[in-house]
Structure 1
Amino acid sequence: MADELRVVSWNIEHNGRGRNGSDDHRDLARDILAATQPHLLFRQELTGAGDRGRADLYAEANRLGGLIPFMPVPQEGRSNNPVGVMIDLTLFLIDGYFEHDLPWKPICNPRIRLKGCAKPINVASAHLCHFDPDLRATEARRLTTLADNSRSALVGLDANSYPHRTELESVALPDWDKVKDPVHYQHRTIERDGRRVSDTRPDEILTGGTRPVFTDLGLHAGTTLGQPGALAATASLKRTDQGPAQRIDRMYCTPDLAPALISFDVLATDEVREVSDHALLLARFDLGILRQVLTPTR
């Protein structure tokens, strides 16, 4: 385990606080995360984590062995569920911190370096807008800037939209004639060729075309590495009125980092389901290969 990098991404529903103050699962959520021993953690729905001097944010970081947490401050009139990134300083140095301000929710983007390596990595947590497909496309285009000028990047997000390589997925896209929730239909579909279809545009922007900006780690593990479980659905683990669960939570990296991927797991245990309506994603990378990529040849 000393020669691997463990990266986790998890949308913890309302930060484990439960809806309307019911069922506080924050301690259980931290126990689940601690068991994965993450060096990098991408979080979504850090609801209330900025209250009382960011007490919940630091409590989670402390429970994970003293990771350094980053989180944008929610703005009045926008989402109250910020994203965050937590970083293990035994492996990384921090070169900078950026917040990409967007109309609904900022992207949290530290820039880090593996110790002993020259090339930095843009790491980012994002939670694409749940109600506006056009804004999701804008947010995805913003994420592509992390890879500008041949930069390396690693992203964890709740995409609130679908993978575009549908023929490779283990779960079919929703049959919208059977989805009971009319609001969900408006939020998750776009018009193409005169009909409404599932919104796959963010994934197309990030990974589409002959020269993709990013590699979908779940898809890479499920195909190149022969790990079909990496393509399991991630959300919703609870609701049934929005069609079957889909692979809306994903991790992406720039193609230079993909050869270092060892495994990609979608964890939806009973404990995970008790805490959240989203599965936990765990990616493991070979540190030796990463160091070769991130240390230029002299």
Structure 2
Amino acid sequence: MTPDVLVVASWNIQKNGRAPVDGRDHPPRPHEILAAYEPDVVFRQELTGAGAHGKHALYAEAHAVGGLIAFMGEEREGRSTNPTGVMVTPRLFDIVAHTNEDLPWKQICRLAVRRKNRPGTLHLASAHLCHYDLGLRATEARRLTTYADHGRTVLIGMDANSYPHRASDEISDPIDWNTVEDPCHIQHRTVERDGRRVPNTGPSEILTGGAKPVFTDLAHHAAGALGQGQALTPTASLHRTDQGPRQRIDVQLGTPDLASALISFEVIDTADVQRWTDHALTIARYDLAAVDRILSTAR
């Protein structure tokens, strides 16, 4: 761990890494991949089964990644069985509050933390927007905007299950929906406008659009302000070929005040990552002293 850098990871590990995609169960395993980046904050999606047996799997992962404190949503009957979670290092943060936002399909795991012996609260949220309902995705995105209300400083890691609205800035190949083989995917990910099927970018527009956006897309900021074009590398699907070319659907967002503290943004889609999941791991690094200055006036 680097004392003056805050490392934030976000990762959708398919079905919580219960079995490797290629059937070859050998290191490095997901927690070992994560641990190599020494994260201070981890946003997790698809913590499938991690709540069983007193959350044994959740706590085992948090310990293995670096002695983190872990929180997760609940599996609810008739709803998604893939909860979200947030893990933080007690080396840097004290826990202020933990809640699970109980939305119709999947809960948002929400955490408030305070830097040790310093003022100001940082609000954290891990989200996995609904994969099948465009309207519900919009509702979930609007709910996330409320976390930044009253001038709060917020970081979010999520699988958006939808696309960035700044298509001209992306390095993903355009989607020709006429060539996409999976009909369910077309229904889940597109809207019809002027007689054409176009990608659903609603959540991105709600969260990071407009003249005064609520959040900054941190990969987009890294690509533009920091000249790190590879931050816009597509994140999913790393496996399926029937859903069109890979796209950037896994994002980290921050309130605009935090963008100035961003040092780098990295998309990890190595062969080791692809052995366990169809989503890339994203890593954001911040100047910790700059974060402390921001939080000193945060609510």
TM-score, length of structure 1 as denominator length: 0.96
In the TM superposition, what is the alpha-carbon distance from 1:53 to its structure 2 partner?
Answer: 1.6
Q: 1:216 maps to what in 2? A: 217
The 5 A counterparts of 1:147-166 are 147-166=148-167
Structure 2 contact 7–286 (Cα < 8 Å) conserved: yes
Gaps of 5+ in 2: none
Structure 1 contact 14–46 (Cα < 8 Å) conserved: yes
CA–CA distance in 2 between the matches of 1:188 and 1:166? 15
Distance 1:225 1:257, change over 3 A: same
Instruction: Give 1:150's aligned amino acid.
Output: G
In the TM superposition, what is the alpha-carbon distance from 1:18 to its structure 2 partner?
Answer: 3.0
The 5 A counterparts of 1:22-171 are 28-171=29-172
Q: 2:297 maps to what in 1? A: 296
Q: 2:11 maps to what in 1? A: 10
In the TM superposition, what is the alpha-carbon distance from 1:190 to its structure 2 partner?
Answer: 1.4
CA–CA distance in 2 between the matches of 1:164 and 1:114? 33
Structure 2 contact 133–188 (Cα < 8 Å) conserved: yes
**SS state at 1:38 partner:** coil
Structure 2 contact 113–122 (Cα < 8 Å) conserved: yes
Distance 1:195 1:62, change over 3 A: same
Structure 1 contact 99–107 (Cα < 8 Å) conserved: yes
1:180-234 superposed Cα distances (whole Å, 9 cap, x missing partner): 1101000001123343210000000000000100000000001110001100000
In the TM superposition, what is the alpha-carbon distance from 1:19 to its structure 2 partner?
Answer: 8.2
Structure 1 contact 173–198 (Cα < 8 Å) conserved: no
CA–CA distance in 1 between the matches of 2:28 and 2:267? 21
Instruction: Give 2:153's aligned amino acid.
Output: S
1:118-151 superposed Cα distances (whole Å, 9 cap, x missing partner): 2211100000001111110000001001100010
Structure 2 contact 173–246 (Cα < 8 Å) conserved: no
CA–CA distance in 2 between the matches of 1:227 and 1:19? 31
CA–CA distance in 1 between the matches of 2:202 and 2:69? 33
Structure 2 contact 20–276 (Cα < 8 Å) conserved: no
Structure 1 contact 101–107 (Cα < 8 Å) conserved: yes
**SS state at 2:16 partner:** helix
Is 1:177 paired with 2:185?
A: no
Instruction: Give 2:80's aligned amino acid.
Output: S
Structure 2 contact 11–279 (Cα < 8 Å) conserved: yes
**SS state at 1:292 partner:** helix
Instruction: Give 2:162's aligned amino acid.
Output: S
1:231-272 superposed Cα distances (whole Å, 9 cap, x missing partner): 000000010000001000000000001100000000011100
In the TM superposition, what is the alpha-carbon distance from 1:27 to its structure 2 partner?
Answer: 6.6
Distance 1:210 1:25, change over 3 A: farther
Would you identify which runs of 4 or more consecutive aligned residues in structure 1 move more than 3 Å?
A: 22-27
In the TM superposition, what is the alpha-carbon distance from 1:29 to its structure 2 partner?
Answer: 0.5
Q: Number of residues paired by the alignment?
A: 297
1:48-98 superposed Cα distances (whole Å, 9 cap, x missing partner): 101122111011011022211001111101011001000101101111112
Structure 2 contact 20–275 (Cα < 8 Å) conserved: no
1:6-46 superposed Cα distances (whole Å, 9 cap, x missing partner): 000000011111389x6657970111011011100000000
CA–CA distance in 1 between the matches of 2:99 and 2:48? 20
**SS state at 1:183 partner:** helix
Gaps of 5+ in 1: none
What's the RMSD between the two structures over aligned residues? 1.7
CA–CA distance in 2 between the matches of 1:25 and 1:42? 24
Identity %: 56
